[in-house]
Structure 1
Amino acid sequence: MHNSTVSKDGVVSDGGVSRVDCHVKVLDDSVVDRARSAGFDAIVYAPHFTRLPDVRRRAEAYSSDELLVVPAREVFTGPWHDRKHVLALGLEEPVPDFITLEAAMAEFERQDAAVLVPHPEFASVSLSADDVRQYAESIDALEIFNPKHLPSHNRRARELADELEVPPFASSYAHLPRTVGISHTEFDADVETEADLLEALKNGASRRVVHRNGLERAMTTALELAHLGYENTWKKADRLFLSGTEPTHPRHIAYDGRFDDVSVY
């Protein structure tokens, strides 16, 4: 295991230690079993293209006294070919995909959500360094490790977090159940509820980024990157979004026209 300690303002919590996988895309019995085996206290569940009420229902169904499942939305801002992902926790109202980054950040601020930057500067799916600089005051944490990254991506993300003094986090970013357990964030705080995790993130609780190294990590990276290849096909995007019927399309009837003026499709 690799372990790196990071504190904000040098303050260490008097509470307990909680292990959290801050971003998984899949949720079933095998994911829960792997998270429990890894000693996790919580996982953050943010599936693609799923509306917030549905995410909340599934998260609640898999939560238990042994493992908290926190619902979240990874919102795809901008057009498909230049989309910028932002992870939001604590939303009370749904936010669609494929609206402008400016509109998404304004909506997160309005709802007082915890705003996390997953995989910065990674492929064509991420906030750039300039984006992070622009919104640094609104960002609660920046991801400095996930197994989909190559080592250079992790180094660059860590440099960016250090430069802007944004608290870090790690996740498995698991699109495949077997990835859960590879990496997580260890908070010096008790995380027993969704509100506890929001407080730890928004108040910059002291934390450690923990991940495995060696062959298992290398195999996980290879499998996750292969899965990424499918996800990033334009054919899939065309099928899902240009019709406007996808549940998280900004012009879907569920959003009652609120985001029509900031939709990119």
Structure 2
Amino acid sequence: MDADATNVDPHVKILNERVVSRAKARGLDAVVYAPHFTRLPEIRARAERFSDGDLLVVPAREVFTGTWRNRRHLLAVGLSDPVPDFITLDGALAEFEKQGAAVLVPHPGFLNVSLDRDDVRTFRDRIHAVETHNFKAFSRQNRRGRELARALGLPGFGSSYAHLRASVGEAWTAFERRIETEGDLVDALRGGAPRRVFRRRGARHAARGIAEFAHLGYENTWGKIDRLFLSGTEPTHPGHVAYGGRFEDVREY
């Protein structure tokens, strides 16, 4: 790990030996692992399993706030206790702040799965960074992210948003400081530490981007969510027994 910079892919959805090898080959020092519909203890255990002296794996949650048809995603890094999906946006932000997590806005303004300009402006004081380059997004969407971050004076970040192994490290954020622990990354994000966003280029980069976007159709079908949230016993359903009724006042389902 370079003494003056740390290369981080701040949002990946998959984690295994091949992903770790890919991340190291791409020159990454850390990745943030935040799979969909997976409870924090499981994420944390898997992140610990795959972390080593060459690659830090930081556990995180991309929480789906609101309803499935009108959901707003938030990426929370540094949670100490589990937070379910499909609670209100304000309820999620209040819980993140209570736990001292860093709150990031992934893919702003993207379809019906993101915070829009008005949302970010309303909750600006509780948000620590806006994604300015998402490998899965189109150029115009990333441009809007950059414009939004500039307009509201918020730091940016870039990620692969990798759902596929080949995408890891296609975009990343280089922090101008040494980051060796989860706490270091949370401090850098909450403190607005200087950073630069990078991405790869070329035909292979473009082809991998097309493959990632094609994957979007699967992850955003109503059939998938219908299967996940029928009984209320699913891992990140707000009514799951693991949450002990803590989110009853802010649950959407």
Structure 1 runs of 4+ aligned residues shifted over 4 Å read none
1:130 counterpart (106, 112, 118): 118
The whole-number CA distance in structure 2 between the counterparts of 1:181 and 1:37 is 9
The whole-number CA distance in structure 1 between the counterparts of 2:169 and 2:39 is 26
Matched, 1:148 2:136: yes
Unaligned runs of 5+ in 1: 1-14
The whole-number CA distance in structure 2 between the counterparts of 1:259 and 1:181 is 35
Q: How does 1:1-265 map to 2 (within 5 A)?
A: 16-265=4-253
CA contact (8 A) 1:147 1:217 kept: no
Deviation per CA, 1:184-217: give whole Å up to 9, x if none.
0000000111111111111111111000122122
Aligned-residue offset at 1:158? 0.2
The whole-number CA distance in structure 1 between the counterparts of 2:238 and 2:64 is 11
Counting aligned pairs with the same residue, the percent is: 60
The whole-number CA distance in structure 2 between the counterparts of 1:217 and 1:263 is 39
The whole-number CA distance in structure 1 between the counterparts of 2:195 and 2:36 is 27
The whole-number CA distance in structure 1 between the counterparts of 2:230 and 2:201 is 41
Greater relative CO, 1 or 2 (CA 8 Å, sep 6+): 1
Unaligned runs of 5+ in 2: none
CA contact (8 A) 1:75 1:87 kept: yes
The whole-number CA distance in structure 2 between the counterparts of 1:19 and 1:81 is 35
Deviation per CA, 1:134-186: give whole Å up to 9, x if none.
11111111100011110000100000000001000000000001100201000
Task: Give the TM-score, by structure 1 length.
Answer: 0.93
AA partner of residue 37 (structure 1):
A
**Count of aligned positions:** 251
Deviation per CA, 1:119-145: give whole Å up to 9, x if none.
000011101111100111111111000
Cα root mean square deviation, aligned:
0.8
Q: Secondary structure at the match of 1:81?
A: coil
The whole-number CA distance in structure 2 between the counterparts of 1:159 and 1:39 is 28
The whole-number CA distance in structure 1 between the counterparts of 2:252 and 2:72 is 12
CA contact (8 A) 1:17 1:188 kept: yes
The whole-number CA distance in structure 1 between the counterparts of 2:154 and 2:125 is 9
Task: Give the TM-score, by structure 2 length.
Answer: 0.98
Aligned-residue offset at 1:249? 0.1
